[in-house]
């Protein structure tokens, strides 16, 4: 395993990979329970953050969330995280959460729920 790269994702192919990882990591029986790509696209185009964890350019994990509320009641809702089974217990989820925190603080938001 090379250095894990964590980055924001917006590309349709990466969003499709999010769906695959979500289905696998959460042991979903079919795609009806996953977040559809068009919703993922709407999230990233409207202030949400979806981060991907990449090992040698292959996405192996993700997390996503979005800002909620306004002014003093504003916070970031961290909705879901997933890592492929063969990459679990390697601190990838932790790295995703740390990067998410960094991105949220850059938005000027100090609370993640």
pLDDT in tens, the chain (113 residues): 568 999 999 999 999 999 999 999 999 999 999 999 999 999 999 999 999 999 999 999 999 999 999 888 999 999 999 999 999 999 999 999 999 999 999 999 999 99
Contact 65, 76 (CB under 8 A): yes
How far, in Å, CA of 4 to CA of 91, rounded?
10
How far, in Å, CA of 7 to CA of 32, rounded?
27
For residue 5, the tally of other CB atoms under 10 A from its CB is 14
Domains delineated in the chain: 5-106 (3.40.630.30)
Q: What are phi and psi of 52, to 5 degrees?
A: -115, 145
Q: What are phi and psi of 74, to 5 degrees?
A: -75, 135
Looking at residue 69, what is its pLDDT? Answer: 92
């Amino acid at each position: 395993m090379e250095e894990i790269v964590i980055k924001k994702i917006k590309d349709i192919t990466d969003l499709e990979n999010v769906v695959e990882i979500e289905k696998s990591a959460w042991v979903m029986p079919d795609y009806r329970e996953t977040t559809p790509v068009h919703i993922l696209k709407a999230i990233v185009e409207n202030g949400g953050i979806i981060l991907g964890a990449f090992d040698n350019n292959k996405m192996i994990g993700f997390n996503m969330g979005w800002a909620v509320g306004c002014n003093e009641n504003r916070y970031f809702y961290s909705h879901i995280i997933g890592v492929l089974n063969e990459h679990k217990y390697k601190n990838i989820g932790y790295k995703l959460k740390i990067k998410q925190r960094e991105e949220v603080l850059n938005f000027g938001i100090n609370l993640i729920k």
